[in-house]
Chains A and B, each alone.
Chain A
Amino acid sequence: MTAALRFRNLTLGYDRHPAVHHLDGAVETGALLAVVGPNGAGKSTLFKGIVGVIKPLAGRIERGDPNPQNIAYLPQAAEIDRTFPINVYDMVAMGLWRRAGSFGGIDRASRSLIEQAMAAVGLSGFEERAIATLSGGQMQRMLFARLLLQDARVIVLDEPFNAVDAKTSADLFDLVRRWHGERRTVLTAIHDMDFVRANFPETLLLAREPVAWGRTASVLTPGNLLVARRMCEAFDQRAELCPEEQAPALAPPGEVARAGNQPGP
């Protein structure tokens, strides 16, 4: 198996303060990986690093496929101007950017792709609706339809099921399963531990430092979760320079890996 993403001693953050500290490891192609951790653990920061919105403070991310268009990203709080006069159809059609670009036409094949994507998320009949009139759940469905059209090999979802009802999250997770079945690599930040245990084979537990990474059952242990919860959230404004040039060696992928702080007593 080849890695879709490989993190090498990766540190990401803001103003030189790390939000993700010394992360090492690989996401195999076709993996369905849950990224869990308390608020402020660095999940969103990691995803922004993966899609290239922020640059690493140290270390690097190696992408199996260097084309940035092959990573699709659903941010936690999309910067969508919901008052903009655009309808659902056009919004979903943006997912075809790689096919159509700035000037390409939307031909019949593309149109049928758009219709299929809208049907797949249960939004058939919403084509002409202005995005301002959508509910939160419908909005999320629309964004998933756009993700479908992006047809990317790596899909990064930042808390995609927040603030949507059970029916919607079940429908949308069916799409995630479908992507997994197509051997796409899917990373999902998520807070619902029971949901992770039931649905995700692999989990990365993050609390600024990576706490554990491996099979979900071996990562989401009470001990690991306690460690994650203890790690402080706030930046230390007077933090010293990080002495570690290299991250401590990690256990091989697939097993529980631990870096940085050891669990407290």
Chain B
Amino acid sequence: MLHEIFIAPFTEFEFMRRALAGALALSLGACPIGVFLMLRRMSLVGDAMAHAILPGAAVGFLLSGLNLFAMTAGGLIAGFVVALLTGLVARTTELKEDAALATFYLLSLAVGVTIISLKGTNIDLLHVLFGNVLALDDQTLVMIAANATLTLIVLALIYRPLVIECVDPGFMRTVSRAGGPAHLAFLVLVVLNLVSGFYALGTLLAVGIMMLPAAVGRFWARDTTLMIAIATASGAASGYAGLLISFHTGVASGPAIILVAGGLYLTSLLFGRVGGLVRQAFPGRHLEA
């Protein structure tokens, strides 16, 4: 009985196994990235970047249909262009980084939707906006796994400068020039993981698997390493549970995954050990010293 509910869907159906592998690989890469986005107060940057990627993928789609490499390359290029233009405008004009990013991602999004409406049907648009984790082919799966691997390796390489750059940028500037490149490499990873998430969850929900588990981690851990571990674990758990719910109830898989992550987040918000609401309301008697 339990086997039938929790395991059988994956042993019996190949598309479920692929979806699970995709979801797990996705959370391995995207969740640590999400933690750093949150700690850098850039939570909404992920969202904006996800929108910015759309026109690139749309151009890829326009040129060669639902082709993995064309759409991925397009998405990456669009993401990098928006990231670079944002940095340029923020550094050279009075516009701050958030305003610069907002202007470029909105432009980018409008261009993307226009391109899709010129060529495709609404079905295509829905596919791009919401992804489909149940239809991952071999190529896509390999790409998601490769992106996750690359993310973990690069993150390990830039971890120390990235943490110092987050907590004390002034100090980082005086001891090393590694802060800027580390930040840039990090932005590249954000784009990379959004493109991965794009195929499984779509442009809009890809950010969900980044930010919701990160917020879960914040409510349970006081140090960065544990936070990343908890975020990744809850991301993976959301993928597994979301797929099961989708399988048994027939709701769309992408939203199901994000809804489970959202449920974990709300639970943590209430009962989290670090600053959860219940904990705040009933902190217990104060200590002696």
Contacts and interface: CB of A to CB of B under 8 A. Distances in A.
B213 to A, nearest CB: 16
Contact of A71 (B170, B174, B218): B174
B160 A102 contact: yes
B154 interface: no
Given A102-B157, A102-B161, A86 B167 contact: yes
B29 to A, nearest CB: 21
Contacts of B70: none
Interface string A41-58: 000000000011100000
Nearest to B171: A94
B164 A94 contact: yes
B166 interface: yes
A86 B170 contact: no
A98 B178 CA distance: 12
Interface string B153-174: 0000110110110111111011
B160 to A, nearest CB: 5
A102 to B, nearest CB: 5
Contacts, number: 65
A84 B166 contact: yes
B173 A84 contact: no
Given A80-B168, A91-B167, A86 B223 contact: yes
Interface of B is mostly: helix
Nearest to B168: A80
Contacts of B178: 102
A130 interface: yes
B176 interface: yes
27 contacts: A52-B174, A53-B170, A68-B174, A69-B175, A71-B174, A72-B174, A73-B174, A75-B170, A78-B171, A79-B168, A80-B171, A84-B39, A84-B166, A84-B167, A86-B163, A86-B167, A86-B223, A87-B223, A91-B167, A94-B171, A94-B175, A97-B175, A100-B160, A101-B176, A102-B157, A102-B176, A146-B171
Interface of B: 39, 157-158, 160-161, 163-164, 166-171, 173-176, 178, 218, 221-224, 227
